[in-house]
A = this chain, B = another copy of it.
Amino acid sequence: MSVLVEFAIFPTDKGESVSSYVSRIIKVIDESGVEYKLTPMGTVFETETMDKALEVLKKSYEVLEPDCNRIYSTVKFDIRKNRSNRMKQKIASIESKLGKEVKK
Contacts and interface: CB of A to CB of B under 8 A. Distances in A.
Interface in A73-101: 73-82, 86-88, 90-91, 93-94, 97-98
Given A5-B41, A12-B16, A74-B77, 6 more contacts: A6-B41, A13-B16, A69-B81, A70-B78, A71-B80, A73-B77
Given A50-B61, A97-B19, A39 B30 contact: no
Instruction: State the majority secondary structure of interface residues on A.
Output: mixed
Interface in A14-73: 15-16, 18-20, 22-23, 26-27, 30, 36-42, 44, 46, 50-51, 54, 57-58, 61, 65, 69-73
A71 to B, nearest CB: 4
Kindly report how many copies of this chain are found in the complex they form together: 4
Contacts of A16: 12-13, 69-70, 80
Interface residues of A, number: 60
